[in-house]
Structure formats: C-alpha cells, structure tokens
Chain A
Amino acid sequence: MTRRSTTAAGQPRRVRRSRLRRRLAGYAVIVGSLAGVGTVYSFVTAAPGVAAAGDPTQSVLQGKSLYLQGCSSCHGLAAEGGTDGPSLVGVGAAAVDFQVSTGRMPVRQQEAEARRKPNSYTPDEIANLAAYVASLGSGPAVPADSQYTPGSDADMALGGTLFRTNCSACHNFVGAGGALAYGKSAPSLSKATDKQMYEAMVTGPGTMPLFGDRQLTPDQKRDIISYVKGVKSTPDPGGFNLGRVGAVPEGLVAWLAGIGALALFAMWIGARARRAT
C-alpha cells in the first residue's frame, strides 16, 4: 500500500506520528508512575493481617486500622457506639471472632438482626480485630481449641438434655432454627463450627441469652457441642428428612404427594375407555 506524505486532513504525516508518540508517552509515564508509587507503597505499608509472631501490639494496631476502615462508621471511632451500633468496649475478643467469622459483621444493611453470610475478613484479620477490641476493655477471650473441641469423653446424651432445656426452645429440637418475636430468628446451627457455638454460648450474640462458664461449665458446653455435631452427622434412617422441622412439611407431603398421586391414579382408573375407530 502506498504511503502518502500527507493525511487526508492535509497535515503532514510526520507531525501526526510524533503527536501520537507524545500522547502514548504521556500515558506510559502516568501508568509507570502509578505502578511505581503502588509498588513503593506496598513495600512501605505492612500487608494487612501479617503481624509478627509474638507481637501483640502490632496485632492491636493492625486491628485498629481495620476497625477504623470497616467498623467505625457504625460503632464509633473509639468503639464508643452510636445510633447504628452498640459500644464494643468490654465486649471481648470472642464476640468479635464470632460476629466477624460468621459474616454477621459488617452488616449489609440495618435490619432487625444481623444474619450469617460469607465473611469478609481472613482469619488473621479477624484475630487482629479481636485483639484490638479486647484491648479496649476486658471481656471473654477467644476460646482455645481444647475448650471448644469435644473430646472422646464428651457426654452426648447429657449434651442433648442440656440442649433441650436451654437451647431447643429457640433453635428447635436439633438446631434447625426457629422464629422469634420482633423480626428476629434463632438461626439454624447447620453451618456453625464448634468454636462459633462455644463463642455464641459465652457471648450471647444479638438477642440470644448468655451462658457463662459458671452457669454452663466448659465441660457442659462441650457436651452440648458434641450433641449438636452428633445429631448433625446422624443419618436419617427413614429417608429424606424434610428439614427436620416436624409435622408441617409432613402434612404437606401427605396431601400433595400422597393424595395427589392417588387422585391421579383414580383418574386413570375412571378414565373414559378409548373407542376403537
């Protein structure tokens, strides 16, 4: 293809090419400087959540910066509380670990209760947040593995009795959840981990009552956890369990599937005979 010395607009091609180069160079400088600044920045600021081992102060500081970014708009700049969120002073690390690891916090919108959803923070970030809140005032600490993991000596049957006395009125016989007043509900325990169950009992999230260690000893708490886990993993020998909710879905199935199938069969029996043509 032939190259002309001028463009259609009449401008000399060489001039056009150099303007283009200059523009491209300008873009390159901007992109390059942004990249450079970003790289420098990422080396200068510590990666979030990476606290040096054995450095609690660092953890608290990082937790504070996370708090200021994600929580202060509702809970106040010094965690003193506000119209949108209660004070976190004295709440303790366990409460923070529970609320954030279940994704309840940060709330998506203000509604009657915060619901479980996929959580927004890594475990290290949660630990830092918890450390920060714990530094504001004393409250229940995050439980250790030995506290919340039921051992082989956990009494599942006793846990069941404790569960049915203290928990099933809200959470249903096996922890499938239930409705409460004022737009709240007791959630299903199907997704709760051992740690979260322990923390919930200790901190009483939302409208749930508290069960301190002098009321339900750690042993008893582990028994309850072993019961909930045991029942969760128990197979349903009778077939599909309809959500383990009780008689309501059973009646629905009896009418729709049972009477429905039999009515259809009866229609087949009573159908008009086909006539030979």
Chain B
Amino acid sequence: MTTTRPGPGTATPAADANGAKPAPKVVKKALGEVDSRFGTAGFLKRNLNKVFPDHWSFMLGEIALYSFVILLLTGTFLTFFFRPGTNEVIYQGQYIPLRGLKMTEAFQSTLRISFDIRGGLIIRQIHHWAALLFMAAIVAHCCRIFFTGAFRKPRETNWLIGVGLISLGLLEGFAGYSLPDDLLSGTGLRIAYGIVESIPVVGSYLGSFVFGGQFPGPDFIPRLFTIHILLVPGILLALITAHMLIMWHQKHTQWPAEHRTNTNVVGAPFYPAFMAKTGGFFFATFAVTAALSALVQINPVWLYGPYNPTQVGAGSQPDFYIGWLEGSLRMMPNFETHVAGHTISWNVLIPAVVLPGVLFTAMALYPFLEAWVTRDYSAHNICDRPRNRPGRTALGVAVLTELGILLLAGGNDVLADRFEVSLYATTWIFRVAFIVAPPIAFMLTRRICLGLQHRDAHSALHGYETGRIVMLADGEFIEVESALPDEAVARMGLEYRQGPPPALEPLVDDHGVRSRRRHNPIERVRGRIGAYLYEPDAQPHTNGHANGHADGHAGELTEDSGDHELNAGE
C-alpha cells in the first residue's frame, strides 16, 4: 500500500513493511548506536508517539515545573556570590543610607549581588519572582486537579506527591527569603522561633536544636542555606521527577468530549507537537518572569535594613504563600492555659501548628475519603467538570474561601491603612468571616453547580433558543429551538454527573436480620455525608436525552441540525 505525504513538492518513494517511508540511513545508524547500548528503540517507538490531550488548564503544572527550572538556574548563579555568614562586617558599598553600618556577611553579600555585580540584581529578582510564580502555579494546579477529580484512582500517589511538593515549596521559599538576613525576614524567623517554642513538652528543645541555641543563634543562616540549596531542592527534584514519570506512565486525563472515553487519549503526539508546545511555554514562563523582574522591584532588602532584634517595621508581611499562616496568627483570640506549672499557648499552637497540620493532612487523605464516601473505587481518566460534582466543588470553594480570608487577614494592617478602615474592625471582620463565609460559600457554590447542571441537561434535551418565533395553525406562538450539535453535548459530560447515592443494603433484610454494616455508626456517618453531597434528581448514566421530561413538549417544534437526531419527549 502506498502512502502519499502532504506538502508541495515531496516525492513519494516506495514504502516499507510498515507502510511508511523508510528512514534515512544516518538516522537509523545514530539510533542504533544508542539502542545497542541501552535498548532504547522500543522505548522511543512507543513514547515518541505518546498522545497528550490539549487544554490550557493542563499547563498550570508546567508553569510550576518551568519556574522550578528557572529557580535552579538563577539560584546556582546566586550561590557563586552569596555568603551565608552571620559574622559582622561593616558595609562600605555604594548604598549610602547603609554605609558604615554593621551588618552580617549574608546581608552584605546580598547588597553586593544587587548593586555591584552586573546582572546580579536582575538574576536575584528573577529568582524571587520565579519563587512566587512557582508557589502560585502550584496552588492553581492543585485547584485544577482537585476540581476536576484528577486525584482519583489511579492517581492518588501523584496527589500525595503533590501535597509533599506544596509543603516543601513553602519551606523552601521561607528559607530562601530569610537568607539575606534583613529586618523583614529576620522578624519572620523570630516569629518562627516563637511558634516552635509554643509546642508543648518539646518546644523549647526543638527551638534550641533547630536554631542552634537561643534565637537567633550563630548557625541559623548557614543551616537555612544548606536546607535551601541542598536538602530541599534535592527532595523536590526527586519528587518532581517521580511526579512526571507517574503522569507519563499513567497518561494524562482529558475533558469529556467527542471521541474521548475513559480508555483512550485524544490529542497531539509528544514528538514533535507536544514537545514544541511545552518548550514554547517554558520560554513564555521565563519571559513573563524576566519581564516582571525588569519592571517591578521585589524584596528590596536595602530598604528594610539589616536584621536587628530590637527593631521592627510596620507592615511586616511574609511572602503570600506564608501569608495565610500570618493571617491565622493575627486573627486567633488569645487563649492560653496555665496548668500545673506549664503553659499551653493555644493562641500560637492552633493557628500556626494545628491549622496547617490539619489542612495538609486533610488534603493528603482527601482522595481516599472521597472514594470511601462515594463508594467509588474504579479508575477515572476523564476530568470532571466542576459543575458535575457539586459536593466536591462546593467543598473546594469553601476551603479556598477560608484560605483567602486568612490571606487577606495576613495583610490586615496594609488593608486598614490603604482603605482607611479601623484596624481592629478588620480583625473582627475577618474573625467573623472565618466562621461564617465558608458555609455560605459552600451552599452558594453547590446551588450554582446544580443550576448549571440543570441548564446543561435542559440544553441537551431541548436545544437552544434560536430567537425565531413561529405561529402555529391554532394561533399559538412558540419559539423554535435548535438541537445542540453532538459535539457540544459530548463536552457537557452529562454521563459523568454526580448521581444519587448507590443502593445500600436494607436496614433489615428479608429474613428479619439487621444489617451489621448499616447500623455501624461510621457507616451511618458515611451515608449521611454522601446523602448531602449527592444530587437526588440527576441520573448518572444517561446521555442527557432521557430525563423524564416527556410531558408538555409534545407540541414543540424542534429543528434538527445536520444528521443529528433529537426526539422530543424521548
């Protein structure tokens, strides 16, 4: 069988057994050299063809990946010049407001990088902007995975790796911006020491061991340096590699659409199209980071001054990815217990230790909890549209609302100053919002999702309104509705909606025996949660055409588009 290739002016040589044009000898020889040593031909044959689905929301993780690459590159440059020393030096450089001042070598080397080394400031700013983009992209990517249910089997491990990546990224960023030992980040380290101190029983020991003594301790900058350039990047690199390999092996999820099923992947081949897209996106990420670094100043440590434990500045905030913890520290009421000669500082423990612990643990366990509540242990390769899973989407929005309130609360003094609101009023507003806003957000979101679902089902069944009014013979006016194309209906993913709860075994069976499982209190909780999250009216396995809406539509005139069929009252 001969195959003709597209494009003007190409000859059509004879095909080989595959049916494809034979490859040039030199390419085969090159591949052969590698293959005879590593056995790569089979790998290449399969993987260069690998199909990747195409949607912009799948590229959020790539922003994080490429930001990480940028961080590695710029970070390596910075390590050639940064000196993680806590020994005191006198600054004699060109920034006059600090000239003659005593400061640590860490701070001085940061000033040197910023002011004396060509390209130093742009690389330093790229490094910091890339760090912010890294964390922001991770959060956005995590939200995308959550709201589309891409954490379900078989991808729970990747979700766990992701939770690990978020927490490590947080630690890495905190360590990184604390290295220059300026007044702002030093204040943050003091707060960190205070948080560690508040841990019952072991707090004072932990603080002393981590910092090498009382605060600040002579070792804290060198230790942070090792953590920041060696330990955490190493673990991050390993986890990111595992994350990518697992995704490669399991293949990416895809949105519901025509031709897409749970057992196939539709999209572009890895080589060359996807490689090019992702390569181009790397350059785009780098370009946006470079643009920000050229135009917007970030972390101007010379304005903050060197760290001095007797000094502090108004408007001291950490970078945003720690900002939610700052907000929780500010909002917490001042509960403390004194018992038997010991103090438990709930006012520090709960917002700074318990809250993040609960959050990350809940995140890690979520895929398993959701599977347990919905009794769904099958593999899923199709993304959920958020509206089709109102319970999960509402929960996610409620948690994001909570975190958003904490983030805003972290900057409450800046907000109070900028918007001329009383400072204490902001504290109370955020305290109340912390309790009240997430349930409201949950209920609102769930209702909105259900509404959108119903609209989808309605459009799928009845089509869309064309705006053409027709008068029937008996004088009645109706609007002509046109059926949606199949492709649009397929994209609604109606068959993937969250349906009614699965049939449970009866409380008492035919022989009068009580069901042990059903009367188990845990099972009852499971059923209760599930019942609230389900939408009782939708059917899970329809194609959207048969929702029992036969009544009242007999007289309707519908227009068929193309060769697509849609029967009223089916």
Q: Check whether chain A touches chain B (CB < 8 angstroms).
A: yes
Which of A's residues lie within 8 Å of B, judged by CB? 112, 155-161, 164-165, 168-174, 176-183, 185-186, 227, 230-231, 234, 236-242, 244-248, 250-255, 257-259, 261-263, 265-267, 269-271
Q: Check B142 for interface membership: any CB of A closer than 8 A.
A: no
CA gap between A267 and B114 in the complex, in Å:
35
Q: Please judge, given known A-B contacts A244-B303, A245-B414, A253-B292, whether A168 and B97 are in contact too, CB under 8 Å.
A: no
Q: Are B423 and A181 in contact, with the CB atoms below 8 A?
A: yes
CB neighbours (8 Å) of B58 from chain A are 270
Q: Check B334 for interface membership: any CB of A closer than 8 A.
A: no
Contact of B115 among A159, A164, A173, A237 (CB under 8 A): A237
Q: Check B325 for interface membership: any CB of A closer than 8 A.
A: no
Contact of B98 among A157, A240, A262 (CB under 8 A): A157
CB neighbours (8 Å) of A161 from chain B are 101, 305, 308, 311
Q: Are B297 and A239 in contact, with the CB atoms below 8 A?
A: yes
Q: Which B residues from 124 to 156 make CB contacts under 8 A with A?
A: 125, 129, 132-133, 136-137, 140
Q: Are B284 and A172 in contact, with the CB atoms below 8 A?
A: no
CB neighbours (8 Å) of B140 from chain A are 259, 263
Q: Are B295 and A160 in contact, with the CB atoms below 8 A?
A: no
CB distance from B126 to the nearest CB of A (A): 11
CA gap between A262 and B20 in the complex, in Å:
39
CB neighbours (8 Å) of B184 from chain A are 173, 246-247
Q: State the 3 A-B residue pairs at the shortest beta-carbon distance, nearest first.
A: A251-B320, A178-B314, A238-B297
What DSSP secondary structure best describes chain B's contact surface? helix
Contact of A177 among B311, B319, B417, B424 (CB under 8 A): B417
Q: Check B422 for interface membership: any CB of A closer than 8 A.
A: yes
CB neighbours (8 Å) of B300 from chain A are 236, 238, 241, 244
Total residue contacts A-B, CB cutoff 8 A: 198
Contact of B295 among A159, A240, A269 (CB under 8 A): A240
Q: Please judge, given known A-B contacts A155-B100, A156-B96, A258-B288, whether A173 and B305 are in contact too, CB under 8 Å.
A: yes
Q: Please judge, given known A-B contacts A174-B303, A239-B296, A248-B317, whether A269 and B101 are in contact too, CB under 8 Å.
A: no
CB neighbours (8 Å) of B423 from chain A are 179-181, 183
What DSSP secondary structure best describes chain A's contact surface? helix
Q: Please indicate which of the listed interface residues A156, A254, A257 has the most CB atoms of chain B within 10 Å of its own CB.
A: A254
Q: Which B residues from 181 to 237 make CB contacts under 8 A with A?
A: 183-184
CB distance from B438 to the nearest CB of A (A): 21
Q: Are B281 and A250 in contact, with the CB atoms below 8 A?
A: no
CB distance from A181 to the nearest CB of B (A): 5
Q: Are A168 and B314 in contact, with the CB atoms below 8 A?
A: yes
Q: Check B299 for interface membership: any CB of A closer than 8 A.
A: yes
**Nearest CB in chain B to that of A170: its residue:** B314
Q: Which B residues from 36 to 90 make CB contacts under 8 A with A?
A: 54-60, 63
**Nearest CB in chain A to that of B125: its residue:** A238
CA gap between A32 and B100 in the complex, in Å:
72
Query: Chain B 386-421, CB within 8 Å of chain A: the 1/0 string?
Result: 000000000000000000000000010110110010
CB neighbours (8 Å) of B416 from chain A are 179, 185
Q: Please judge, given known A-B contacts A238-B296, A269-B281, whether A179 and B97 are in contact too, CB under 8 Å.
A: no
CA gap between A205 and B494 in the complex, in Å:
67
Q: Are A251 and B319 in contact, with the CB atoms below 8 A?
A: yes
CB distance from A8 to the nearest CB of B (A): 65
Q: Are B312 and A246 in contact, with the CB atoms below 8 A?
A: no
CB neighbours (8 Å) of A169 from chain B are 312-314
